[in-house]
């Protein structure tokens, strides 16, 4: 992932990070990467371990990608458990996000640095988080009622330098899930962060963020954008509409989900690389 983000930073676009939890979603994301000729990040969070194991994610990615021309990273999204970070690396993930954002600063820093030592020795990149996002409706990544804590530019450069992380998730007003009010994205905080940091910055909570704000965030130095909720909402809505007409075989439903996810992710990739 580090090489992908370095290119994005140089050429001023953002790489899309899309959450997966099934064969259909993995195939949809990889197909969208192949269709657009752009790198993609296949992101799997520990909360979806009930759906599939780390090893299954890696096996499906490798099997599906073998028949496609696509550059991809297999990334562990929002992982609070150090055990799970190391399990994912062992299973073949090429990138991990250790999320110590709810911990006191020094503990977040120490844990992130420990992950970096192991991950880098194995050629795996590391994303860390400083500050935290509020939870919107149907959030998949945060607990209900989680509060917004903006990333402090004064803390960020020391955190990155001391932890050695390759990318930093920043909190500038996006929420995990659907916005419940008007989005208020603090581009001034992003500008302050960019002044202090050369490291690629990651925007979580891409769903529902207005197009012009996404463009301003990319212009302001965001090089990776995470989207989950809206892809699922979009595909589920289209599936519901199609099922109102007939009740097809599950094999047909599986194919439709792949198509819906491919179309939705293709749109985001195009938007992020304009
Ligand atoms: P959304 O569900 O709001 O798009 O957020 C996804 C995300 O940030 C994954 O890490």
* Domain residue extents for the chain: 2-272
Exposed (0-12), middle (13-18) or buried (19+): which is 67, by Cβ within 10 Å? exposed
Three-state SS sequence of the chain: CHHHHHHHHHHCCCEEEEECCCHHHHHHHHHHHHHHCCCEEEEEEHHHHHCCCHHHHHHHHHHHHCCCCCCEEEEEEEECCHHHHHHHHHHCCCEEEECCCCCCHHHHHHHHHHHHHHHHHCCCEEEEEECECEECECCCCCCCCCCCECCCHHHHHHHHHHHCCCEEEECCCCEECECCCCCCCCHHHHHHHHHHCCCCEEECCCCCCCHHHHHHHHHCCEEEEEECHHHHHHHHHHHHHHHHHCCCCHHHHHHHHHHHHHHHHHHHHHHHCC
**Contact 205 CB / ligand 1 (< 6 Å):** yes
Pocket test for ligand 1, best of 47, 80, 226, 234 (most atoms within 8 A of CB): 226
With a 6 A CB cut-off, is 209 part of the ligand 1 pocket? no
Q: Are 94 and 74 in contact (CB under 8 A)?
A: yes
pTM equals: 0.97
Tell me how far CA of residue 251 lies from CA of 5, 21, 24, 31, in angstroms.
36, 18, 11, 18
Q: What's the gap in Å between 8 CA and the centre of ligand 1?
A: 20
Structure tokens at 74: 């297999």
What's the gap in Å between 269 CA and the centre of ligand 1? 15
CA angle 161, 167, 230 (to 5 degrees): 150
Ligand 1 atom with minimal separation from the 227 CA: 4
pLDDT of residue 145: 73
What sign does the dihedral 228-215-193-180 (CA atoms) show?
Answer: negative
Contact call for residues 28 and 257 (beta carbons, < 8 A): yes
Q: Which two tokens stand for residue 89?
A: 């690396």
- Tens digit of pLDDT per residue, the chain (274 long)? 999 999 999 999 999 999 999 999 999 999 999 999 999 999 999 999 999 999 999 999 999 999 999 999 999 999 999 999 999 999 999 999 999 999 999 999 999 999 999 999 999 999 999 999 988 898 888 777 788 999 999 999 999 999 999 999 999 999 999 999 999 999 999 999 999 999 999 999 999 999 999 999 999 999 999 999 999 999 999 999 999 999 999 999 999 999 999 999 999 999 999 8
Start-to-end CA distance of the chain, whole Å, equals 20
Q: Is the Cβ atom of 226 under 6 angstroms away from ligand 1?
A: yes
Instruction: Say how many residues make up the chain.
Output: 274
204 CA from centroid of ligand 1 (Å)? 5
Interatomic CA distance for residues 25 and 56, integer angstroms? 13
Furthest-apart CA atoms within the chain: distance in Å: 58
- Ligand 1 pocket, 140 CB below 6 A? yes
| C-alpha of residue 211 to centroid of ligand 1, in Å | 16
Ligand 1 pocket residue status of 141, Cβ below 6 Å: yes
pLDDT of residue 146: 80
What's the CATH code, domain 2-272? 3.20.20.70
């Amino acid at each position: 992932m580090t090489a992908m983000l370095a290119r994005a930073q140089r050429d001023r676009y953002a790489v899309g990070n899309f959450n997966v939890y099934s064969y259909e979603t993995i195939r949809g994301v990889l197909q969208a990467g192949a269709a657009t000729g752009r790198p993609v990040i296949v992101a799997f969070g520990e909360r979806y371990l009930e759906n599939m194991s780390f090893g299954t994610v890696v096996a499906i990615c490798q099997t599906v990608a073998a028949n496609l021309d696509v550059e991809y990273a297999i990334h562990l999204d929002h992982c609070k458990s150090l055990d799970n970070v190391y399990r994912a690396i062992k299973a073949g993930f090429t990138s991990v996000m250790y999320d110590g954002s709810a911990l006191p600063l020094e503990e977040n820093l120490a844990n992130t640095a420990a992950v970096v030592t192991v991950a880098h020795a194995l050629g795996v990149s590391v994303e860390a988080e400083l500050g935290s996002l509020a939870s919107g409706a149907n959030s998949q990544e945060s607990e209900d009622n989680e509060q917004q804590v903006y990333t402090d530019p004064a803390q960020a450069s020391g955190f990155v330098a001391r932890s050695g992380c390759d990318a930093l998730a920043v909190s500038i007003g996006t929420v995990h899930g659907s916005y419940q009010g008007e989005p208020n994205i603090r581009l001034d905080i992003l500008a302050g962060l960019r002044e202090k940091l050369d490291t690629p910055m990651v925007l979580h909570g891409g769903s529902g963020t207005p197009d012009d704000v996404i463009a301003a965030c990319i212009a302001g130095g965001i090089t990776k954008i995470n989207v989950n909720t809206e892809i699922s909402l979009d595909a589920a809505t289209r599936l519901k509409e199609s099922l109102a007409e007939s009740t097809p075989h599950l094999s047909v439903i599986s194919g439709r989900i792949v198509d819906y996810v491919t179309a939705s992710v293709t749109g985001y990739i195009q938007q992020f690389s304009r």
